[in-house]
Homo-oligomer: A and B are copies of this chain.
């Protein structure tokens, strides 16, 4: 068992906002690269409406293609129950359901109030349990909202409590616009872990202001052991003004390995995956120079 677990979200969050259309084959190749580096949990696509995010129009084809990979635990984002119906036609380990910590962002991102969206999630959990599919409830803009500004810890924690009671298999806390700072991360994540109890908690960080790794370290110090990252740091939410790249998987893995924290991943192959992701992305937001002994 590794000391920490990393879920790579590059095929979904990394590519969804790219204006260049990436082929299904390339997306599947990216997943293959990630698996070769040892990543088993990968968020491979999103069943969002193709008109909203054209890049994800091939969600079914991607999920069908990666069903060949035996050890893959495929995760798909589903924004609603219609998306879930499409997703569950395929081999799937988990679905990721998104809410926001603030009403304004929820309205802009999903078009529902937090309560309306939550009651849909409760129905999802019932269905998914029957289908043998796990559920994750991700809370966007948990550290700050581009529309409402500051987000109180109470806003996030009350949602975490409800999600836990609803029976989610995982709770995701997301810094969607990359606005968090380490003290804030440490403070909130300690409380989230306490409220979540036995339910696994993930943190999802963006690197908009170069603080992704500082925040990940703070989350680790708070007790978080599951991280959502994106190889090469590609990504950003299409509905969050100013959101830049995700925290790069390889940067976090480098940090952990140098601290003797086992990730179970092959760093050299992870760099290959990062190079491949960067070659697909028309943004490569960090354009980082990589000089690491492989």
**CB within 8 Å of B: which A209-228 residues:** 209-214, 216-218
| A210–B213 CB distance below 8 A | yes
**Stretch among A103-111, A165-173, A176-184 lining the B interface:** A176-184
With A and B bound together, what is the CA distance between A183 and B260 in angstroms? 10
Please tell me if the beta carbons of A181 and B259 are within 8 angstroms of each other in the complex: yes
**A244 CB-CB contact with B under 8 Å:** yes
CB pair B251–A209 under 8 Å, yes or no, is yes
* Contact yes or no, A288 B244, CB < 8 A: yes
Q: How far is the CB of A222 from chain B (nearest CB, A)?
A: 13
Across-interface contacts of A209 in B (CB, < 8 A): 251, 254-255, 288, 290, 292
Q: Is A13 interfacial (CB-CB < 8 Å)?
A: no
Distance in angstroms from A68 CB to nearest chain B CB is 33
Closest 8 CB pairs of A and B: A242-B291, A210-B251, A213-B214, A214-B214, A181-B258, A244-B289, A214-B217, A211-B213
Besides A209-B254, A214-B214, 16 other A-B contacts (C-beta < 8 A): A181-B255, A181-B258, A182-B217, A184-B258, A208-B288, A208-B289, A209-B251, A210-B210, A210-B286, A211-B255, A212-B213, A242-B289, A242-B292, A244-B291, A245-B289, A286-B286
**At the interface, yes or no: A241 with Cβ under 8 Å from chain B?**
yes
Q: Of residues 162 to 203 in A, which have CB atoms within 8 Å of B's CB atoms?
A: 177, 179, 181-184
Question: Residue A264 at the B interface, CB < 8 A?
Answer: no
* Complex copy number for this chain: 2
Most buried by B among A209, A245, A247, A255: A209
- Which residue of B218, B242, B259 is within 8 Å of A183 (Cβ)? B259
**Size of the chain A interface, CB-CB below 8 angstroms:** 37
B211 near A241: Cβ-Cβ < 8 Å: no
Which residues of chain B are within 8 angstroms of A255 by Cβ–Cβ distance? 181-182, 209, 211, 214
* 8 A Cβ contacts from A271-288 to B: 285-288
Once the chains are docked, how many angstroms separate the CA of A233 from the CA of B290? Answer: 15
Question: How far apart are A224's CB and chain B's nearest CB, in angstroms?
Answer: 14
Pick the contact of A210: B177, B218, B248 (CB < 8 A). Answer: B248
**Residues of B with C-beta under 8 A to A217:** 182, 214, 217-218
Q: Does A94 contact B (CB under 8 A)?
A: no
- For residue A18, CB closer than 8 A to chain B, the reply is no
Contacts of A177 in B (CB 8 A): 291
1/0 per position for A231-260, CB-CB distance to B under 8 A? 001000000011011011001001100110
User: In the docked arrangement, what's the CA distance between A245 and B289, Å?
Assistant: 9
User: CB-CB < 8 A to A182: which residues of B?
Assistant: 217, 255, 259
By a CB distance below 8 angstroms, the chain B residues around A286 are 210, 286-288
